[in-house]
A and B are shown apart, each in its own frame.
Chain A
Amino acid sequence: MHKKHSIPRETTSVIFLILLFVGVGLINASFLTVDNIILSLNSSVIYTVVAIGIAFVIITGEIDVSVGATLGMTAAVCGSMVRDGNVGMGIFWALLLGLFIGLINGFGIAILRIPSIIMTLGTNGIVRGLIYVYTDGKWIENIPLKFKALSQVRLFGSFTWFYFLTLLAVVLMHLFMTKSQVGRYFKAVGDNPNGANLLGIPVSGTKIIAFMLSGLFAAIGGIMYVSRVGFITPIAGIGYEMKVIAACVLGGISLTGGVGSLMGATIGAAIMASISRVLVFLGFPSDYDNTITGILLIVIVVFDAVFQANLAEKMRRQRLAAKIVHTQSVALEEAPDHE
């Protein structure tokens, strides 16, 4: 009933993304060209990948602030191995490491019942420290040109194949989340963990899988980081967790869990990546980047919250009114019988 009446939360984000491009395009026409739109989307690839992982966690009602460190760590591991010529091993170990960090997070949160923000803050610190241990505080450079060129390969002359791959992952994961039985557990757990438990859904297992997916996608983001950026500093990926959470929120995923979709996360990531480009096209210095991001985040979220609250209130009134009319009509029908 609720679903039928309310407008999907992603629409607000899509409208906003379109407004952003059209609005800036009115001021500077070169922003609204196909080339620029493609470039903007291409540059959002790492945000998007990490955002789909973390979306699983947020939809189950938890939070993961360790993705930035995970991305940095996997990038360092992958980068150092690729530099030494072991591309396959680098990718393999990076993915395994991402899964492992996710497993530890999931274990602490689902089994030991540590609040997720605390647990992932802890692992964030630990993993960030381990990056320094692993790299000895040095930069990882001299990534082979061939590996770096991978990120520049474009399919059909437009999107990079990284972006296509990411979109494919979004579609597959979206189908997994909405169509498969296990996939639907995530929303159920996020919406009402106790209810899910009573229905026989393995709540702890679902949460662990969500965190492992978050780690895995952060690792994929790390591998892409190696290829796109080409060098890894010990502070690689710092601040990504906040940007990605912001992307999810912009895409209509509620931090209380149970609401939102991966499509939303993708759109949110595109918005996040576009903002810094918008500033360039409007002629602002990049100093304004954070200010605009902050204002947008607050405005969109507050607008959305007020809008949804109004909608819910209106629906509640409609339901009440319908109930009153219904009971009155029932009373009228029943009245003659009593006589």
Chain B
Amino acid sequence: MNKHELFKEKVLKWESSLVLLLLVEVLVFGLINPKFLIPRVLFGSINNFMTICIVSIFVTFVLITGGIDIQAGSIVGLTSIFIGVLWNDVGVNLYIACIFGLLLGVLCGALSGFFVAYTGVQPMVVTLGGSFLYSGLALIITNFSSTEAYKGISGFPQEFTQFVKGKIFGVIPNQLVIFIILVIFTYFLLHRTIYGREVFLCGVNKNAAEYSGVKTKMVIMSTYALSGLGAALAGILLTAYLGTAKTDLGKEITLPVITAVVLGGTSNLGGTGGVIGTALAALVIGILRFGLSMAGVNTQYLDIPVGVLLVISVAIRFAGSNPNIQKNLQKFKRRFSRKRKQIV
């Protein structure tokens, strides 16, 4: 029971403020542009940032262990072009190609995870190398295709693309359903299984985890593999949604993904965080971008409000919990009062 209360206090507090933020956003954008509130439009917008949502819930695992993953975006592109080439030029069945794509994603993630866990190189460096490597591999794979790289591979069968574009009751997009299922799955994996507790323990104190019998190296490696899996899944869904397989599909999601994870309450130092927060934060960012563009803001300016949101929200969170800020404040006050005494 006590554990449950602690969970409520620490995690749900931030998450409820995210829900509040989400509601405020919907309300404000609804007031600015009433079209925004039409369910078909509102839910339809989710399709546009599903990649970020899906990738970020898996990247959360990596950040909880105290690592960072900036290669997920390039795995999205690699998977996309990989299944495209397998299907179009090699002639493999599309669904089998998708399974191979998922395997490739896991493999790519696990490779980076191996280097992070077993050689002790900083995660940022390894995944930086990984992002170069996998985006480069994606370009090389296009050489095996008869189609020009910049055009992308298209012409996928109807049922493949229609499923992702489809809607339940004509309103809720299938992608949203998939996303919710993934959130529930990852929630149970992270918060309700022994594996999930081990992931947290690796982030809190790796040595303590090692001494209490957790195979920390395996656990850390597995989080990168999971993040690779998520990226591959997002790559397949995006390919189906757009109807084309291209190398540069996930090129610019690194920033929004990390933003979503951190805004969702996961510390980049590891040990704290959760999937629900990440999912909510990804929606907050997505709705913010969509709402602003509906309100008539140039889409190229949208990085500004997202950046401001990120910096301010994290500053507030750190100001509240960090004693250093209070120490600084006290120091400032003391200095100020000393000066006043001198003047007197």
CB distance from B311 to the nearest CB of A (A): 4
**A122 and B310 in contact, given A112-B319, A305-B121 (Cβ under 8 angstroms):** yes
CB contacts (< 8 Å) of B300 on chain A: these are: 129, 132, 137, 234
From A122, A137, A297, give the contact of B308 (CB < 8 A).
Answer: A122
Bound complex: CA of A285 vs CA of B143, how far in Å? 10
From A249, A287, A302, give the contact of B115 (CB < 8 A).
Answer: A302
CB contacts (< 8 Å) of A113 on chain B: these are: 318-319, 322, 324-325
Bound complex: CA of A122 vs CA of B129, how far in Å? 22
- Using CB atoms, name the residue of chain A closest to B304: A129
From B121, B128, B315, give the contact of A246 (CB < 8 A).
Answer: B128
Bound complex: CA of A114 vs CA of B302, how far in Å? 22
Binds B, one of A9-17, A31-39, A288-296: A288-296
Q: Is the CB of A126 within 8 A of B307?
A: yes
> What sequence of 0s and 1s flags, for each residue 266-310 of chain A, a beta carbon within 8 Å of any chain B beta carbon?
000000000000000000010111111111011001100110010
CB contacts (< 8 Å) of A117 on chain B: these are: 68, 124, 258, 268
Bound complex: CA of A309 vs CA of B115, how far in Å? 14
Bound complex: CA of A121 vs CA of B256, how far in Å? 9
- Using CB atoms, name the residue of chain A closest to B137: A291
Kindly state whether residue A149 has any CB partner on chain B within 8 Å.
no
Q: Is the CB of B311 within 8 A of A114?
A: yes
Q: Is the CB of A293 within 8 A of B68?
A: no
**A125 and B255 in contact, given A137-B300, A294-B129 (Cβ under 8 angstroms):** yes
Kindly state whether residue A187 has any CB partner on chain B within 8 Å.
no
CB distance from A288 to the nearest CB of B (A): 7
Bound complex: CA of A133 vs CA of B322, how far in Å? 35
Q: Is the CB of A114 within 8 A of B314?
A: yes
- Using CB atoms, name the residue of chain A closest to B149: A287
CB distance from B299 to the nearest CB of A (A): 9
From B68, B131, B311, B319, give the contact of A122 (CB < 8 A).
Answer: B311
Q: Is the CB of A112 within 8 A of B124?
A: no
Q: Is the CB of A128 within 8 A of B128?
A: no
Kindly state whether residue B2 has any CB partner on chain A within 8 Å.
no
Q: Is the CB of A298 within 8 A of B131?
A: no
Q: Is the CB of B115 within 8 A of A289?
A: no
Q: Is the CB of B119 within 8 A of A306?
A: yes
Bound complex: CA of A92 vs CA of B302, how far in Å? 29
From A108, A126, A288, A289, give the contact of B315 (CB < 8 A).
Answer: A108
> What sequence of 0s and 1s flags, for each residue 110-146 of chain B, a beta carbon within 8 Å of any chain A beta carbon?
0000010001111011101111111111011011000
CB contacts (< 8 Å) of B315 on chain A: these are: 108, 112, 114
Kindly state whether residue A124 has any CB partner on chain B within 8 Å.
yes
Q: Is the CB of A63 within 8 A of B115?
A: no
Q: Is the CB of B128 within 8 A of A287?
A: no
Bound complex: CA of A124 vs CA of B303, how far in Å? 9
> What sequence of 0s and 1s flags, for each residue 255-282 of chain B, a beta carbon within 8 Å of any chain A beta carbon?
1001100100001110000000000000
Kindly state whether residue A111 has any CB partner on chain B within 8 Å.
yes
**A112 and B325 in contact, given A118-B311, A121-B255 (Cβ under 8 angstroms):** yes
- Using CB atoms, name the residue of chain A closest to B139: A287
Bound complex: CA of A136 vs CA of B137, how far in Å? 35
Q: Is the CB of A118 within 8 A of B255?
A: no
CB distance from B38 to the nearest CB of A (A): 28
Kindly state whether residue B158 has any CB partner on chain A within 8 Å.
no
CB contacts (< 8 Å) of B258 on chain A: these are: 117-118, 121
Within 8 A of B (CB), among A93-137: 108, 111-115, 117-119, 121-126, 128-130, 132-133, 137
Kindly state whether residue B195 has any CB partner on chain A within 8 Å.
no
Q: Is the CB of B126 within 8 A of A298?
A: yes
Kindly state whether residue B306 has any CB partner on chain A within 8 Å.
yes
CB contacts (< 8 Å) of B139 on chain A: these are: 287-288, 290-291
Kindly state whether residue B328 has any CB partner on chain A within 8 Å.
yes
CB distance from A110 to the nearest CB of B (A): 10
CB contacts (< 8 Å) of A246 on chain B: these are: 128-129, 132
**A126 and B119 in contact, given A113-B325, A245-B128, A291-B136 (Cβ under 8 angstroms):** no
> What sequence of 0s and 1s flags, for each residue 288-311 of chain B, a beta carbon within 8 Å of any chain A beta carbon?
000000000010111110111011
Kindly state whether residue A256 has any CB partner on chain B within 8 Å.
yes
- Using CB atoms, name the residue of chain B closest to A241: B128
Q: Is the CB of B269 within 8 A of A115?
A: yes
Kindly state whether residue A29 has any CB partner on chain B within 8 Å.
no
Kindly state whether residue A182 has any CB partner on chain B within 8 Å.
no
From A125, A306, A309, give the contact of B303 (CB < 8 A).
Answer: A125
> What sequence of 0s and 1s flags, for each residue 124-161 of chain A, a beta carbon within 8 Å of any chain B beta carbon?
11101110110001000000000000000000000000
What are 20 A-B pairs with beta-carbon distances under 8 A? A115-B262, A119-B311, A121-B255, A121-B258, A121-B307, A123-B311, A125-B303, A125-B304, A129-B302, A132-B301, A133-B301, A249-B128, A287-B136, A287-B139, A291-B137, A297-B128, A298-B129, A301-B121, A301-B125, A302-B115
Sort A-B residue pairs by CB-CB distance and give the 5 closest, nearest first: A294-B133, A291-B136, A290-B136, A294-B132, A125-B307
Interface residues, chain A, with chain B CB atoms under 8 Å away: 63, 108, 111-115, 117-119, 121-126, 128-130, 132-133, 137, 234, 242, 245-246, 249, 254-256, 285, 287-295, 297-298, 301-302, 305-306, 309
Name 6 extra pairs, CB < 8 A, besides A289-B136, A294-B131: A119-B311, A129-B307, A249-B125, A285-B143, A291-B140, A294-B129
